[in-house]
Amino acid sequence: MARIAIDARKWRDYGIGTYVRNLVRHLARIDTETTYFLVCGSADVPTLQDLAGNFVPVVDESAGYRLSEHVSIPWKLRKLGVELLHEPHYVLPLLTSGRSVVTIHDCIHLLFPQYLPNAAALSYARFMMGHAIRKSAVVFTVSEASRQDILRFYPEAREERVQVVPNAIDPVLLANPGEEEIERIRERYLIRGRFVLYAGNIKPHKNLERLIAAFGLLKQRAGMEDVKLLIIGDDSHKYASLRRAVDAAGVRQDVRFFGFVPDQTLAALYRLASVFAFPSLYEGFGLPPLEAMACGAPVVTSRISSLPEVVGDAAVLVDPYDTEAIADGIVRVLEDDTLRMELIERGHRRAHAFSWERSVKQIHDTYLKVLGVPVAAVAAPRLP
């Protein structure tokens, strides 16, 4: 019986956490033979130990980006006789001695070093990505755009070892909360009339200051007096600079910050939104626009990085560096009912073309191949 470890310490995070949760849950459905050791914090043990009998939590409280994780995790995995480690982040512990695969979601640290705290952080990211690429039997990434970024920054990487396995939508968000729950959330959050929605991390490359400035331009147009902007983010203490942007745009009464919301609430807000706006400067994949489309929100998003690849013809694409272009894209959707309905219809089709079941099956087959176990030939999932 094979022994595979997965670093699940980011189980509760946005982004990589979504990836880890869906990876592990779908593996539990398709593989009851392999023993999976899930490296995790102690708080996640109750959740992870109930997945299946062959999934075993292994507590490691090492902080990310610290020396301790490079020592303690490899030591524990060697004691457990682990044959393969899947690191779902570019930090593959340096003392890892066995076989490994890694997921590199994007190269944002290398493309936008100005957003890192210091030069040492850039050197660390560059070195650790290179280490992971050299040591891993396979490098998974989530879009062709990210694959090309990896090959550009690390030309020594063997192209056939860098595999695209796209993300998909968490089933929790696909489930319609129902009219009663949606109305309850509308009342709880005092939502009246139309609103533009953003949901995602609060980070500089998400381009929220330009989104707020674009909303300020939108509010100056006739017929837009009732429209609000709702920003859902992972970390409310990061809102100070955004509130300054709100004041500069003169829209203090029309912008609301919600902080973190539960998945069911997010699913309802997606369904209530008049437009979902996501003018990010860079995305390895860009899951929030896909989630919004699955829930019936028309999407305005960036025309750069992986986003056109992910959304296809199911969104209005804009130049994220052009504030007026962002405003114009949102106004088009708000004013053109025909366009709005077309985007909703296309969005549903596009979002449902992605599947965690297919993607995790490809990852599982790759595990077996790396371990030398014969696997029936199947076509790899591709972005629609």
223-263 confidence digits (pLDDT tens): 999 999 999 987 656 678 899 999 999 999 999 998 888 88
- pLDDT for 117 equals 87
Cα(366)–Cα(360) distance, rounded to whole angstroms?
10
Statement to judge: residues 191 and 160 lie in one domain = no
Residue among 144, 153, 143 at smallest CA distance from 109: 153
- Sign for the pseudo-dihedral over CA of 18, 19, 24, 28: positive
Statement to judge: residues 162 and 237 lie in one domain = no
Statement to judge: residues 176 and 310 lie in one domain = yes
Is 379 domain-assigned?
Answer: no
Q: Which residues of the chain have pLDDT under 50?
A: none
When divided into structural domains, the chain yields a total of 2
- pLDDT for 83 equals 97
Report helix, strand or coil for 185: helix
- pLDDT for 341 equals 97
CB 311 within 8 A of CB 278: no
Is 382 domain-assigned?
Answer: no
Which residues form the domain of 136? 3-168+355-370
Statement to judge: residues 141 and 236 lie in one domain = no
Statement to judge: residues 195 and 157 lie in one domain = no
pTM: 0.89
Residue among 259, 255, 210, 189 at smallest CA distance from 228: 255
Statement to judge: residues 175 and 164 lie in one domain = no
Strand order across the 275-278 sheet: 255-257, 228-233, 195-200, 275-278, 299-302, 316-318
Statement to judge: residues 159 and 177 lie in one domain = no
Is 376 domain-assigned?
Answer: no
Give 3-state DSSP helix, strand, coil % of the chain, rounded to 5: 50, 15, 35
| 13-57 pLDDT tens trace | 877 888 999 999 999 999 999 999 999 999 999 999 999 999 999
Statement to judge: residues 104 and 185 lie in one domain = no
Largest CA distance in the chain: 68
Statement to judge: residues 335 and 192 lie in one domain = yes
The CATH number assigned to the domain holding 24 equals 3.40.50.2000
Statement to judge: residues 180 and 311 lie in one domain = yes
Statement to judge: residues 125 and 193 lie in one domain = no
Is 129 domain-assigned?
Answer: yes
Is 110 domain-assigned?
Answer: yes
- pLDDT for 379 equals 54
Residue among 66, 17, 20 at smallest CA distance from 260: 17
Is 377 domain-assigned?
Answer: no
Is 381 domain-assigned?
Answer: no
Is 380 domain-assigned?
Answer: no
Cα(177)–Cα(199) distance, rounded to whole angstroms?
18
Statement to judge: residues 146 and 273 lie in one domain = no
